[in-house]
């Protein structure tokens, strides 16, 4: 720990190893990628306060990630990608988040879209061409699925050879530099009734605009602006899924099972960084309070809860070898709620352990505290998840 102008600064990341419980070691390939994260991470960490202060997308960090082919890391090697497993990418994102949460969260949004397509590819359901293209060119994939959920928003009007789409899509992470928008919109089908159609849209297509309105409490570097679609043409061939509007579709069991472990890995990494910072500060306290050790123990218990539930999410995803069952989607969502609550709890406890110094932006915990609040907002928010799970339990008898 060091002191500059009387302000205590955060301790080194090496403390992570002292607070993280034993877990299965990463495979050799994942370990190589994690070593690379540790090599590039300090520069990310150094830039994080400025990105946060300016509400600016982590552009330099993304350029580095592209340079090292992180955007293709989880694509199977036979398709030109890095061959990193789903579990391995969870570890990579968790460690990356300890350097810059916004960078890790933005990357998780790109990665979960890839993971869903890898799941399809492995089951002989297509996606090979798309995965090869991403492996070769590393376009940034932007998702609007979380905000759309079962109903989606906007409107689609039938046109010659396709549809015209009008919609406003919020929380579109990476839209600041996105190449392809993966989205959906409602369509009132004259034969089948209200439907939701899913499709990709090039971010440079006519009628697509990014509103540059991501001025948020935390995760300010993710570039999660609102994207407006104003009469954007979507050809029939681009529609990859049609489903009844408002009804739960097995497709969501795939998305939830592949995406939530990635996203919660980011918040677990933030919690680990906060716990390590608090532990370093506690060891430097000249006059520790009598309850300091108990407070550290309580924080570690909460962190362990986050880590254990995250590992169980990874187990359920089973390196993308799973059936799209409701039981899987519900299990993932329940654990997501538990991880989110634990991560927020860890950072809150870390703030209390450090005390007044944690209130200073320069110390670093304040930004972690704001960033970790986002954990609650990913699907589903706690009360929605509990309602959704309860209804499932009642139906299941």
Residue 1 falls inside a structural domain: no
Residue 177 falls inside a structural domain: yes
Same domain, 178 and 126: no
- Other CB atoms within a 10 A radius of the CB of residue 382 amount to 14
Same domain, 321 and 377: yes
pLDDT for the residue numbered 270: 98
pLDDT for the residue numbered 12: 40
Q: CA neighbours within 13 Å on the CB side: how many for 394?
A: 6
CA–CA distance, 144 with 109 (Å, rounded to integer): 10
Same domain, 112 and 148: no
Residue 233 falls inside a structural domain: yes
Same domain, 186 and 109: no
Q: Tens digit of pLDDT for each residue in 289-348? A: 899 999 999 999 999 999 999 999 999 999 999 999 999 999 999 999 999 999 999 999
Q: Tens digit of pLDDT for each residue in 39-68? A: 999 999 999 999 999 999 999 999 999 999
pLDDT for the residue numbered 397: 66
Same domain, 220 and 258: no
Domain of residue 324, residue span: 250-396
Same domain, 211 and 272: no
pLDDT for the residue numbered 20: 53
Domain limit, last residue, from 82, 109, 139: 139
* First-last CA distance in the chain: 56
Residue 221 falls inside a structural domain: yes
State how many domains the chain has: 3
For residues 264 and 271, is the Cβ–Cβ distance under 8 A? no
% residues pLDDT > 90 (the chain): 90
Same domain, 113 and 148: no
Same domain, 237 and 281: no
Domain limit, last residue, from 124, 139, 154: 139
CATH at 119? 1.10.540.10
Residue 54 falls inside a structural domain: yes
φ, ψ of residue 164 to 5 degrees: the values are -110, 130
Length of the chain: 397
Residue 2 falls inside a structural domain: no
Is pLDDT larger for residue 274 or for residue 7?
274
CATH at 269? 1.20.140.10
* Distance, C-alpha 108 to centroid of its chain: 4
Same domain, 97 and 183: no
Same domain, 39 and 70: yes
Whether this prediction's pTM lies above 0.85 is answered by yes
Same domain, 199 and 126: no
CA–CA distance, 222 with 114 (Å, rounded to integer): 18
The neighbouring-strand residues paired with 187 are: 195
Question: Which three-class secondary structure state does DSSP give residue 114?
Answer: helix
Q: Tens digit of pLDDT for each residue in 115-149? A: 999 999 999 999 999 999 999 999 999 999 777 89
pLDDT for the residue numbered 23: 65
Same domain, 131 and 22: yes
| 3 band by pLDDT with thresholds 50, 70 and 90 | very low
Residue 3 falls inside a structural domain: no
Q: What is the mean pLDDT of residues 198-214?
A: 97
Q: Tens digit of pLDDT for each residue in 227-245? A: 999 999 999 999 999 999 9
For residues 75 and 111, is the Cβ–Cβ distance under 8 A? no
pLDDT for the residue numbered 10: 42
Residue 283 falls inside a structural domain: yes
Domain limit, last residue, from 116, 139, 162: 139
CATH at 156? 2.40.110.10
Largest CA distance in the chain: 75
């Amino acid at each position: 720990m060091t002191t500059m102008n009387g302000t205590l600064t955060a301790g080194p990341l090496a403390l992570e190893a002292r607070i993280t419980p034993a877990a299965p070691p990463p495979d050799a390939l994942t370990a190589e990628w994690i070593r690379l994260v540790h090599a590039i991470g300090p520069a990310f960490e150094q830039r994080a306060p400025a990105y946060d202060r300016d509400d600016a997308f982590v552009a330099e960090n993304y350029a580095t990630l592209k340079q090292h082919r992180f955007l293709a890391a989880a694509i199977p090697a036979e398709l030109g990608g890095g061959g990193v497993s789903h579990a391995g990418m969870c570890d990579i994102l968790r460690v990356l988040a300890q350097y810059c949460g916004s960078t890790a969260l933005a990357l998780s949004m790109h990665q979960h879209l890839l993971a869903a397509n890898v799941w399809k590819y492995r089951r002989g359901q297509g996606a090979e061409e798309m995965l090869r293209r991403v492996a070769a060119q590393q376009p940034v994939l932007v998702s609007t699925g979380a905000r759309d959920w079962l109903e989606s928003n906007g409107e689609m009007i039938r046109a010659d050879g396709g549809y015209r789409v009008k919609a406003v899509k919020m929380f579109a992470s990476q839209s600041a530099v996105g190449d392809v928008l993966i989205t959906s919109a409602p369509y009132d089908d004259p034969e089948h009734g209200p439907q939701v159609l899913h499709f990709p849209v090039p971010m440079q297509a006519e009628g697509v605009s990014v509103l540059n309105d991501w001025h948020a409490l935390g995760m300010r570097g993710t570039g999660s602006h609102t994207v407006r679609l104003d009469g954007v043409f979507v050809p029939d061939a681009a529609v990859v899924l049609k489903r009844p509007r408002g009804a739960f579709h097995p497709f969501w069991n795939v998305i939830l099972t592949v995406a939530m472990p990635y996203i919660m890995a980011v918040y677990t990494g933030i919690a680990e960084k906060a716990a390590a910072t608090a532990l370093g500060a506690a060891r430097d306290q000249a006059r520790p309070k009598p309850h300091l050790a108990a407070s550290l123990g309580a924080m570690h218990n909460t962190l362990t809860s986050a880590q254990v539930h995250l590992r169980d999410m990874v187990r359920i995803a089973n390196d993308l070898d799973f059936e799209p069952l409701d039981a899987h989607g519900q299990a993932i969502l329940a654990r997501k709620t538990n991880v989110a609550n634990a991560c927020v709890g860890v950072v809150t406890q870390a703030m209390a352990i450090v005390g007044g110094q944690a209130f200073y932006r320069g110390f670093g915990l304040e930004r972690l505290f704001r960033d970790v609040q986002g954990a609650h907002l990913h699907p589903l928010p706690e009360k929605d998840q509990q309602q959704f799970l309860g209804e499932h339990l009642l139906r299941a008898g």
